Amino acid sequence: MNPIEHGPLFCAFHRVKVDDVFWNGYRDLVRNVVVPYQWEALNDRVEGAEPSRAVRNMKAAAGELEAEFGGFVFQDSDLYKWLEAVGYLLRERREPELEAVADELIATIERAQEADGYLNTFYALKEPGKRFTNLTECHKLYCAGHLMEASVSYYEATGKTALLDIACRFADLIGETFGNGPGQIPGYDGHQEVELALAKLARATGNDGYMALARYFIDERGNSPSFFEAEADRRGRTPHWHKGEIGKTKHAYFQAHLPVREQSVAVGHAVRVVYMCAGMADVAKATGDVALAEACERLWRNITERQMYVTGGIGATAAGEAFTVDYDLPNDTAYAETCASIGLIFFAKRMMELNPKGEFADVMERALYNTVLAGAGWAQLLLRQSVGGSPSCV
């Protein structure tokens, strides 16, 4: 369907206005410092910083300039997260100059998209012909998910459908490519994200097929025989991140050691876990899947009662940015990545939608006030350096 026929999804965001001394400071920090700084960084214009190459990659894929790919295999996701943030800012207050910059970037992304809907600058510029190989390591559907989230955010803010149409074309291709039918790939991504993004896209467009695709990825994860092992065999067990040959996949790191409905302990990479749980909760709510909701509850209990710091931080070890074992919460070596706490907030919000109990809001608030705001420290430092003094949110 044409997304514009469904109309903008005016969610609760549009009906709430925050006017608070504490939060206004952080909101202004994002609008006036973080998003402008990130745009400069994405364009390789921050002196002394390692070049991002993200905008350059997209322009090269669009045919707007000649350049080799630069950065990580998941570099596109930085552009999509920036656009998502811009959407949130424009929901609160339209800014023609910022919107024009975003629209220009979206036009470049549209030119970079291939005719059948595929969009990934690493594979367009560096490894054409290897689109859906090595999903274990290379964040392919992860990047696609961030595109989908950005498209929904921008659509809800502006009513413009260009980015949403791009995301839908890519989602349609993914739906044709993955599944258990003839010629389809019976697999899923190594880094969860597309599941919750597809749920957002389904709600924004009214296309239930996207929710069904999210459910497919959730249901397929952890089944036997292992998709990751079969995929590694097909590519000669060559890794992306280093030379040599890979051994057996550490399935627990990717939460692929068991089907998700059989999981009760959070293991492996912490961000992956909570992104997965957020997608599971989305699908459980949309479909009334009781078994999936029960799995969410079990994983919630394990995370918040046995593997969460008092601050709301999760993922105790830097080795793999991961959960370890119950009650292993060292203070001096705590990793507790900000990204993981943001994912925990996503999970908490969805658990509250499944079952509106205060405990979910309590964890959401704990993570927000402690671990997430701590991640804004670098932006506060930038503001001090640029204007002197202290921002109002300190």
Confidence at residue 73, expressed as pLDDT on a 0 to 100 scale: 96
Q: Once rounded to an integer, what is the mean pLDDT over residues 173-198?
A: 97
Q: Once rounded to an integer, what is the mean pLDDT over residues 312-330?
A: 97
Q: Smallest Cα–Cα separation from 255: which of 191, 184, 202?
A: 191
pLDDT at 2 over 50: no
Q: Once rounded to an integer, what is the mean pLDDT over residues 281-287?
A: 98
Cα 212 from Cα 218, distance rounded (Å): 10
The residue that leads in pLDDT, 392 or 43, is 43
What does 326-392 look like in DSSP terms, one character per residue? TT---STT----HHHHHHHHHHHHHHHHHS--HHHHHHHHHHIIIIIHHTTHHHHHHHHHHH-S--T
- With contact defined as beta carbons under 8 Å apart, do 275 and 283 qualify? no
pLDDT tier at 3, thresholds 50, 70, 90: very low
Query: Which tokens sit at 227?
Result: 């998709």
pLDDT more than 70, % of the chain: 93
pLDDT tier at 384, thresholds 50, 70, 90: low
Please write the tens of the pLDDT for every residue from 108-121.
999 999 999 999 99
Whether this prediction's pTM lies above 0.85 is answered by yes
| Burial (CB count <10 Å: 0-12, 13-18, 19+), residue 32 | middle
